[in-house]
Amino acid sequence: SLCREGSDIFTSVRENSPTGEFISSINITAGPRANTIRLCLSGRNANWFYLEGRTIRLNSSVFRVLDREQVEGSVLIAELICYENDIIQGNYRILVEILNENDNKPNFLLETIQPFTISELTAVNSVVFTVKAVDADGDMISYIIDPSSDAEFFRIDLPNTGKVVLNKPLDYETRTHLQLIMWAQVESNTVDKFNTSAVLNINIEDGDDQYPHFLPCTPVSPGVPVCMNPTYTTNITQKHQDVGLDFSPGPITAEDGDKGINAPLTYTILSDDQGRFTINNTTGEIQVDDRLKYSVASVLVRVLYENAFPPAFNRTTYKGFIIQSSSPASIVSTYGNQVLQVQVSDRDFPDGRNPNIHYLLHPPSELYQVTKEGVLIAKTNQLRAFDRQILQQVIARDEESGEEVSASVDIEVLQRGQAVPSGAFKEQQLFGDVDSTLAGGIAVLIL
């Protein structure tokens, strides 16, 4: 029988192949009795094939595209039946594997792109969230942050993980909401690179990192969230007793610098009022509770959080030089002829500069004076060459918290024409230049 010449068919075809795509030839030769042979297709996926002579071809169309992801097991299964004189003489299996093509966009898992909240105190370089997308073709996916969104705050170190890392500090007082556009792109060797995007809404949670401040708030400088506390004043007479006082520029009131937390505040009188005043610890209202022997009182009340870090000098002893001169005032210099500037840093402030620091000499000196900027000025015409004086203490005091720190200064008087030593171990790098205009102004102040 001619039907017995056939065999099972095992082959493959790419998904999205056009109609008429060659599948396989049939190994049943024509002969004198070929007109008695009849072939037909049967089985689960027989409708995906048609016969053209002794050839099997793909039966797809514009409206019915072969999609690997839609076929069970990604294999087309059918049966070739051979009839001879209308009697079945042979049955052959047809197994056609559907080869994958990159023809699907990835999709983000919804649970990974929902709005979420992160604290402004979250550490930089920590993983803050993870996104995940899936691809129906099973290809690897890489993740990209769109630069048009708030991309500066985040980065992805390993593109295939979807783990997003905090790139710069967050500040609730500056931004309470961020928006990020994430892209998921399929990695494949095809020309088309399928991708998809998702918008992530991120809420910033306020952290306890700000001092309370009295109202009205006057910023120490534009863009710096640190207030100069006002001085409240009022006039009272001997007739005032057991009554609340009306202050200018307004009632004594303060607020938490962390507006998202708005922690309750406690008001306390710190100065020595000799029991003449009482303050409501909750509202800040001050009352007179004793007859006064004077007519005007000034009130300054501070509400402070405990400082996390005290101010600190960058060294315990500073070296200074002054050149003998008839000038009534000169600025003390240090190695490399740099202006000597004794300054402290305070880690309670982002830039290390505490605007409430005040410098003074202890014990006070008749020959030297220190400015608000930490610059030392000497009465040059009262100094003699080769004199040497050690200022026992230069004190830096935080006028808000009352914290103090001290350092000493070793000053040598050089004779006229003598060069200031350049120093060693690059000590001059520890001191910054001071604007010459500022220096001139400082020198005038002591005259």
CA nearest to 20, candidates 43, 44, 52, 47:
52
Q: What is the pLDDT of residues 408-428, one digit of tens each?
A: 998 888 888 888 888 754 444
Residue keyed to tokens 């699907």: 104
Q: What DSSP string describes 187-221?
A: E-SSS---EEEEEEEEEEEP-S----EESS-EESS
Q: How far apart are CA 396 and CA 14, in angstroms?
A: 79
Contact 220, 231 (CB under 8 A): no
Question: Residue 154: is its pLDDT beyond 90?
Answer: yes
CATH H superfamily, domain 228-305? Cadherins (2.60.40.60)
Q: Where are the domains of the chain?
A: 2-99, 107-205, 228-305, 312-445
The more confident residue out of 353 and 295 is: 353
Considering only CA atoms, which of 246, 230, 250 is closest in space to residue 297?
246
The string of pLDDT tens digits covering residues 185-215 is: 988 666 667 889 999 999 999 887 677 878 8
CATH of domain 107-205: 2.60.40.60
Task: Please report the pLDDT score of residue 237 as a whole number.
Answer: 64
Residue 161 banded pLDDT, cuts 50, 70, 90: very high
> Ranked by mean pLDDT, which of 34-43, 124-133, 276-285, 361-370 comes out on top?
124-133
- pLDDT of 440 reads 43
Residue 248: pLDDT band with limits 50, 70, 90: confident
Percent of residues, the chain, with pLDDT higher than 90: 30
Residue 55 pairs in a beta bridge with 25, 52
Cβ 284 vs Cβ 246: under 8 Å: no
Between 164 and 441, name the one with better pLDDT.
164
The residue ranking higher by pLDDT, 181 or 28, is 181
Among the residue ranges 111-115, 205-209, 392-396, 425-429, the one predicted with the least confidence is 425-429
Does the structure show a pLDDT above 80 at 442?
no
- The CATH class for the domain spanning 2-99 reads mainly beta
At residue 427, the pLDDT reads: 41
The model's confidence at residue 250, banded by pLDDT at 50, 70 and 90, is: confident
For residue 429, what pLDDT band results from cuts at 50, 70 and 90?
A: very low
Residue 323 in tokens:
């050149």
Cα dihedral 267/271/277/283 (nearest 10) = -10
Mean pLDDT, the chain, integer: 81
Does 312-445 match 2-99 at the fold level?
yes
Instruction: With residue 442 as reference, give the H or E element that holds it.
Output: helix 436-445
What is the spatial distance between Cα 431 and Cα 428, in angstroms, rounded to a whole number?
Answer: 6
Amino acid 227: pLDDT: 74
pLDDT of residue 438: 41
The more confidently predicted of residues 129 and 31 is 129
Paired tokens of 403: 């914290």
Highest mean pLDDT among 105-109, 277-281, 443-447: 105-109
Task: Classify domain 312-445 by CATH number.
Answer: 2.60.40.60
Rounded-to-integer distance, Cα 244 and Cα 230, Å: 19
Task: Residue 422: count other Cβ atoms within 10 Å of its Cβ.
Answer: 11
Helix, strand and coil in the chain, % to nearest 5: 10, 40, 55
Average pLDDT of 209-235? Answer: 75
Give the tens place of pLDDT for each residue, 327-360: 888 889 998 888 889 999 988 888 888 888 999 9
Q: What is the pLDDT of residue 257?
A: 72
Residue 432, pLDDT > 90, answer: no
Q: Taking the model in full, what pTM does it have?
A: 0.47
Three-state SS sequence of 87-139: EEEEEEEEEEEEECCCCCCCEECHHHCCCEEEECCCCCCCEEEECCEECCCCC
Per-residue pLDDT at 213? 74
Residue with tokens 């029988």: 1
Q: What would the two tokens of residue 47 be?
A: 């409708």
Q: In the predicted model, what is the mean pLDDT of residues 245-256?
A: 79
Which helix (H) or strand (E) segment is 437 a member of? helix 436-445
Stretch 53-74: mean pLDDT, rounded? 88
Query: What pLDDT score was predicted for residue 391?
Result: 67
